[in-house]
Structure 1
């Protein structure tokens, strides 16, 4: 399985199906994923908490790979995650990019960049047009 196929399988089994046992199949024991939260690299065990927490708020999750490329042990995808909010089934869509390095058929490094501001706006945690408000000097607090 190449890196792009590995990423597709990771998102399908772990994030779409919610299969926590699949985490070990795709993510190396010493692997780390950065970019999900500032100054925090998620490790193997962190996903066992993170995935159920996120999926608790979402239903009907799907992932679409929009673009991809691969070079040696590195793969990059531009993707879109689609779901519905659990509380009212309103659609949620978030775009992002993920770059991984693989070793022995597993993810050993991952660099994530997702539009979390848009996600939290859609989830009702931030006001609409948060970026525009902040760029105009408004305070959200």
Structure 2
């Protein structure tokens, strides 16, 4: 299995299908995933809470890979998560990038960068155009 195939299988089984037992199949016990929250690196057991929380808020999740590159033990991918809000089935789209390092066919290191501002705008937790408002000097309260 190529590194990109492993990464696609990770997203499909864990995030799309919600198979929490598959986390250990893809994610090494020593692995850390950074970039999901400031000053926080998710470990294997953190996905037992994180995945159900996301899947509670979203329905019909799919992931499309826009670009990818594989070199040695590293895989980079630019992707888009497509889903619907659980509360009213409104479509949402979240772009992001991930770099993973693999060891023994498992993710040993992951660095994530997803557009969480856009996600929270689409979910109704932040006002539309939050970044533009803040760049103009507005404070969100």
- Give CA deviations for 1:16-49 in whole Å, capped at 9, x if unaligned: 0000000011000000000000010000000010
Q: Which residue of 1 aligns with 2:41?
A: 41
* Paired position in structure 1 for 2:96: 96
CA drift of 1:2 comes to: 1.6
Once the two structures are TM-superposed, the CA of residue 120 in structure 1 deviates from its matched residue by: 0.2
Q: 1:14 aligns to what?
A: 14
Note the 1:59-78 alignment, pairs <5 A.
Answer: 59-78=59-78
Residue in 1 that maps onto 2:126: 126
After TM superposition, the runs of 4+ consecutive aligned structure 1 residues lying more than 3 A away are none
Calculate the TM-score normalised by the size of structure 2: 0.99
How many angstroms apart in 2 are the aligned matches of 1:132 and 1:3?
37
Written as runs of structure 1 = structure 2, the 5 A alignment for 1:81-92 is 81-92=81-92
The aligned counterpart of 2:105 is 105
Which segments of 5 or more consecutive residues in structure 2 lack a partner in the other structure? none
TM-score by length of 1: 0.99
Query: Per-residue CA shift, 1:27-80, capped at 9, x if unaligned?
Result: 000000000000100000000100000100000000001100010000000000
Paired positions, count: 141
Gaps of at least 5 residues in structure 1 are none
